Structure 1
Amino acid sequence: MTDQAHIETALRALLVARGAIDAHARWIAQAGGQSNMVWHLRGADDVVCKLYLNTAHNPLYANDPTAEFACLDALAGRGIAPTPIGFHLTELGAVLLYRYVAGQQWRADGAAVADLLGRIQSMPAPNGLRHLPVDGADILAQGDRMAPSAALSDLRPQARLLPSPDLVLVHTDVVPGNLILGADGLRLIDWQCPAIGDGVVDVASFLSPAMHLIYTGTDITHKTRQAFLDALPTGLAARYHALAPAYHWRMAAYCQWCAQQGRAGYAQAGQAEQDLLTSLQ
C-alpha cells in the first residue's frame, strides 16, 4: 500500500468516526494541487476533502488552512467560491471539507475572470488575514530574497512608487487550475493563500504566462488577455500597467526558485515570464 493510500485510509477512518463524512463515499484522488492532498468524495453529497501537508515556508504563496476556511465562510452564498462544510484538526494535519464544484477548468473567457475578481474585491475580508506589500520597491525586494540568477538580476526593473491603493481581499493565486466553470458560472477554488492587499496582485497572477504554462501547457492568448484588461475598472488596469514589470520580475524569480527545488516545468515557465518582462521594458 502506498503512503497516499495509508493516509487516505487513516483519514477516512478519522472523519467517519467524527461523523463528518458519508462512510460509504467513494474517494477519488484529485490531481493538480501543488501543496496539499485533495480528494473528491462521491456519496450522498459531493464533497472535497483537503488535507494540508506542506505548510513549510514558501517565498510567495502561503498555505494557511485557517485562512482558507475563513474566506470560504465569508464568501459562502456569493457565487464566488466553494461552500464550506467543516474544518477539522487531526493528527494527520488540518482538514477542510467543502462542496464539490462541478465543472471544467477555465479556458478562454477573460472578461468573466475580470468580473469575478471585481466581485471578490468588493467583499469585506475576514479578520486575521496577512497584509501584502503594495509598492514597487517592496515587490521587487521579495524577488531579491529568492536569489535570482545574475541574468535575471540584469532584467530587474526600476521600482515604481504609486499612490497607495485601496486595500481589498485578494486570492493571490488566480491561475487556470483554480478557476472552475460550471453550470452556475465561474468559481475560484484553493483559497489557502489569501491576503489583504492591492487588487493588482490578482490581475498580475492571472496574466502570468508562467502560470498558464504550468496549468494549461500554453500561454494566455492575446485575445483573452485583452478581453480581461478591457473588462477591468480603468484605474485597476492602469495600476497593473504601471506595476507589471515588478510583478512579472518577481514571478520570474519565483519560477527560478521553484526550478531549484526540482519542481517540473518551472524552468520553461520562468523563461516565458522573462520574455514577457523583456517586452514590457
Structure 2
Amino acid sequence: MQTATRFLVNPLPAPTLPPLDLVDDLRHRRLIAPDAQFQTLYGGRTNKVWKVLEGNGGKVLKLYRTGLRNPLFRNDAELEARCLTALEPTGFAPRLRAAGQHQNGRWVFYDHAPGTPWRKDTTDVALLLGKLHGLDVSVPAPRGCNGGADLARHGQSILDGCTSAMRHQLEQLKPDEQVQPTQQTCLIHGDPVAGNILVAPSGLTLIDWQCPAQGDPCEDIALFVSPAMQHLYRGSALTPEEEDQFLSSYRRADIVTRFKSLRRWYAWRMAAYCLWRIENGSPDYATGLELERAVLERS
C-alpha cells in the first residue's frame, strides 16, 4: 500500500523522517550514502514509507507499524521480504536489498520501482495477475480464504467487530451460495489494488507484499475489481466494459467462472470491511460500502 504517487483522498500530512538510529544503522550497513536524503511517500494507509534519494534510481524504506489489527489485510514485514526474494527473477516485484528489526517495528529496504499507479487498461493487470498465479514458487505464506464457507466465517468475524445498525442490515444481505474450496491454490498478492500496481514503459510492477497468502486466485481478482477498492485508490469503480475486459483477458475461464460464483461473497465481506473501517475512524470508506452493497443487491 505504499509508493511514490497515489490517488489521494485526504489532505497530505506533514512529511516525516525515519528514526535517526535507523538511518544510522542503514549508513553503518552501507545501504545508504552518508548524505542520503529522504522523501516521504504518501498513499499507503498503514506503514511509514520513504524514498531514499540517490543517484542510482533510489531505494524505498518501509517501516512497519506495530499493534495494528486489520481484519482483512495482514501487515507482515517478514512475508514481504520472503515474497520479494522469491519473486526477484520475475521482474514484476521490487528487488529486496535488506530487512531488519527496529525498536519501532520491522523494516524492509528495496529498490524503488519506476512508474505511476495504475489508472486504465485492465488487460495488462489481468495478464500480470495471471502470470503471478501461474508461478511455481515456494513462499511459506498462510492459507487464504477458500470457498464460500471460509468467506462466510471471515466476513462474519469482521461484522462481529462492528456495532452500528448497519451491521444488522449487512447480515440480512449475507449470500447463501454454496461454493466448495478449490484444490488449485497458488501464491496470491492479497492486496492488488490500483495503488499497488505501478505502470512504466518497461511494464507493470506489483508492490506492497505484506499480506500474501497461499490461496484461491479468485481472491486477487475480487480485490482488484472491488468497486470499493477502485474508488479508494483510483477514484472510481471499474465500468462494466473495463471489468469485462479484465475478466476476458485473465485467460483462465475456469477461474473466472469460479470468481463469478463467489462474487457476492467477496462483495459481502468487503462491505463488512468498509463498515469496520468507518466505525474505526475512516469515513472515506462510506462510498465503498454503498458500492459493495449495490453489487450484493443487483446480483
TM-score by length of 2: 0.88
- Trace 1:206-221 onto structure 2 (pairs within 5 A): 206-221=224-239
* Change in 2 beyond 3 A, CA 1:4/1:89: farther
Contact residue 169 and residue 195 of structure 1 kept, 8 A? yes
What SS class does the counterpart of residue 24 from structure 1 fall into?
A: coil
Residues 1:27 and 2:46 aligned together: no
Aligned to 1:226: 244
Residues 1:115 and 2:127 aligned together: yes
- Alpha-carbon distance in 2 for matches of 1:163, 1:69: 28
After superposition, the C-alpha distances for 1:196-250 in whole angstroms (9 at most, x for unaligned) are: 0000000000010000111122111222111101112101110010010101100
Aligned to 2:138: 126
Residues 1:273 and 2:273 aligned together: no
What SS class does the counterpart of residue 81 from structure 1 fall into?
A: coil
* Change in 2 beyond 3 A, CA 1:6/1:63: same
- Trace 1:93-104 onto structure 2 (pairs within 5 A): 93-104=105-116
- The letter of the residue matching 1:173 is D
- Trace 1:183-222 onto structure 2 (pairs within 5 A): 183-222=201-240
After superposition, the C-alpha distances for 1:41-71 in whole angstroms (9 at most, x for unaligned) are: 1113310110001452221111000100100
Mark the runs of 5 or more structure 1 residues left unpaired by the alignment.
none
Match of 1:260 among 239, 260, 279: 279
Match of 1:106 among 98, 118, 140: 118
* Change in 2 beyond 3 A, CA 1:174/1:127: closer
- Trace 1:35-54 onto structure 2 (pairs within 5 A): 35-45=46-56, 46-54=58-66
Contact residue 16 and residue 40 of structure 2 kept, 8 A? no
What SS class does the counterpart of residue 77 from structure 1 fall into?
A: helix
- The letter of the residue matching 2:141 is L
Q: 1:163: how far off?
A: 5.4
What SS class does the counterpart of residue 181 from structure 1 fall into?
A: strand
Q: 1:4: how far off?
A: 6.7
Contact residue 148 and residue 265 of structure 2 kept, 8 A? yes
Match of 2:174 among 152, 156, 166: 156
* Change in 2 beyond 3 A, CA 1:134/1:240: same
After superposition, the C-alpha distances for 1:89-137 in whole angstroms (9 at most, x for unaligned) are: 1223211111111111101111111111111112234332100121101
- The letter of the residue matching 1:270 is L
Aligned to 2:147: 135
- Alpha-carbon distance in 1 for matches of 2:269, 2:224: 14
Contact residue 121 and residue 170 of structure 1 kept, 8 A? yes
- Alpha-carbon distance in 2 for matches of 1:248, 1:69: 30
Residues 1:16 and 2:35 aligned together: no
- Alpha-carbon distance in 1 for matches of 2:137, 2:158: 29
After superposition, the C-alpha distances for 1:21-49 in whole angstroms (9 at most, x for unaligned) are: 22222211000111100011111331011
What SS class does the counterpart of residue 137 from structure 1 fall into?
A: helix
Contact residue 158 and residue 273 of structure 2 kept, 8 A? yes
Name the stretch that deviates more: 180-189 or 47-56: 47-56
* Change in 2 beyond 3 A, CA 1:188/1:165: same
Q: 1:184: how far off?
A: 1.1
Identity between Structure 1 and Structure 2 (%): 33
Q: 1:185: how far off?
A: 0.5
Residues 1:176 and 2:194 aligned together: yes
Name the stretch that deviates more: 64-73 or 117-126: 117-126
TM-score by length of 1: 0.94
- Alpha-carbon distance in 1 for matches of 2:138, 2:48: 25
- Alpha-carbon distance in 2 for matches of 1:3, 1:13: 23
